[in-house]
Structure 1
Amino acid sequence: MTRTHPACCGPFDFAWPLPAPLPGVRWVACRFDPARLDPAAFRQSDVPMPASIERSVPKRQAEYLAGRLCAREALLPLLGRPAIPTIGNDRAPVWPHGVCGSITHGSGLAAAVVGPSRAWRSLGLDVEEDLPDDRAERLAGEILVPAELERLAGLPAAERARQVTLTFSLKESLFKALYPLVRQRFYFEAAEVVACAGGRARLRLLADLDGEWRAGCELDGLYAAHGAHLLSVVAVAARG
């Protein structure tokens, strides 16, 4: 069938937005507007609609459609054919053999990163809008561990909400990167952002997740402003 790009989704953005490259990893993003979602958009763009999405509200349908379109576009040069990750029983994306990836969406922006499994074991991507100052203050105790809260207290008031948002995003990316490897859920208190400057971050696990990923393990992250959004990525390289 002839695919058409849905009216609810803007053009694709292929420009790598982060301060350092991840070799072999592709980024694709697009804007989306749930108010412009047409009931026929899934069929016309040749994106299967899972039953759980069919029962969802238009906002969830639009963000799912936009995210899967980005994933398909990112996968095409890696696989040489169109492919769309399905939804697993745990609601996480199921990627085709030979690749790993991550999808995110929020506040009108959807994006996907994908890379070859020979280079990357897992990828985690997150997008957030800056938390308002008052909400950031309320959520800080849920998102930040004591050492992070101590560092937060030393920041000027104008920077505190951004730091809470960034910590939230990096920990979301960490979860997306490690969940496919450990297959168990973990929460904000399981990790600490120990360094964060110039678009680069370092995260340390504070809890044992499995025999490999134990308390004290550290991973690198990247982050960047992207228009009105904040992006972060945590990538796990393939074993040497």
Structure 2
Amino acid sequence: MTTARTSGTAPGPAGPMIKSILPDCVVAADLFADPPDPPLYPEEDRAIGDADEQHRAEFATARVCAHDALRKLGMRPGPVPPGLRGEPQWPAGVVGSITHCTGYRAAVVGVASKVATIGIDAERNEPLVDGVLDAVSLPEERESLRRLAARHPRVHWDRVLWSAKESVYKSWFPLTKRWLDFEDIIVSLDATRGEFSARLRVPGPRVNGQQLSRFTGRWLAGPELIITAIVVPAPARRGTPSRA
């Protein structure tokens, strides 16, 4: 009998919870609670404006994680304001992704010369609201979820699927600046390896001349949280010697 890959929800000596599903070419920072009055850069403070207390806390703590991740990367921290669609605007030469849900905020960053794009998403390990799954999934995905749920009932697979598609979009948008609908992606979840594959049903972006037809990522599930992550390495440029 196989067992679905799961993980605990508390950070330990190894570092951020999300680190276990990330490659070594990126760094991460996360928090499980909002610090009181976290400092924001003026550009960030203007962006959040007069948002309500909950949204301001989510935004501000996520920026604390972003600033910490930049420091870990060896960069001088600076403002990370949102773009037109809410995507984080990183300093030149950096790519990254931010996520927040109830009880968890995280940021992951990498150097643009080594990483083409990053997408992360965190969700509560709870079922989706009635009707949402049909709106965001394809029939073959729902059939796969039924099989997974029968074998591994402790994981809310509909939420894993949702999270994986969110990570795909966050990876897609920095490369294309275009919208991507839920039905434009078909996701396959691997319960034992903690991996997923997302095949694009529309033409994919080109990265250094190579067209992407799918994204691959990893997921983990704990008693309270589900996290997914995608890191697309930057292709080696022609003429760049490989290391033995």
Q: Provide the TM-score with structure 1 as the length reference.
A: 0.80
> Is 1:222 aligned to 2:218, yes or no?
yes
Correspondence for 2:110:
115
Tell me the SS of whatever aligns to 2:15. Answer: coil
**Unaligned regions of 5+ residues in structure 2, if any?**
1-13, 237-244
Q: Distance in 2 between matches of 1:236 and 1:204?
A: 14
Q: 1:142 to 1:157 in 2, by over 3 A?
A: farther
Answer 1 or 2: higher relative contact order, Cα 8 Å, separation at least 6: 2
Correspondence for 1:205:
200
Q: 1:211 to 1:71 in 2, by over 3 A?
A: closer
Correspondence for 1:86:
81
Correspondence for 1:75:
70
Tell me the SS of whatever aligns to 2:215. Answer: strand
- Superposed, 1:47-62 pairs within 5 Å as 47-48=41-42, 49-62=44-57
Q: Distance in 2 between matches of 1:211 and 1:100?
A: 16
- Superposed, 1:87-236 pairs within 5 Å as 87-132=82-127, 135=128, 138-154=131-147, 155-156=149-150, 159=153, 162-197=156-191, 198-209=193-204, 217-226=213-222, 228-236=224-232
* Superposed displacement of residue 195, structure 1: 3.9
Would you say how many aligned residue pairs link Structure 1 and Structure 2? 222
* Superposed displacement of residue 227, structure 1: 5.2
Paired-residue identity, %: 26
Segment drifting more, 218-227 vs 230-239: 218-227
> Is 1:24 aligned to 2:18, yes or no?
no
Segment drifting more, 146-155 vs 63-72: 146-155
Q: 1:83 to 1:211 in 2, by over 3 A?
A: closer
**Unaligned regions of 5+ residues in structure 1, if any?**
1-12
User: 1:147 corresponds to which letter in structure 2?
Assistant: E
User: 1:230 corresponds to which letter in structure 2?
Assistant: I
Tell me the SS of whatever aligns to 1:156. Answer: helix
* Superposed displacement of residue 209, structure 1: 4.8
Q: Distance in 2 between matches of 1:125 and 1:68?
A: 15
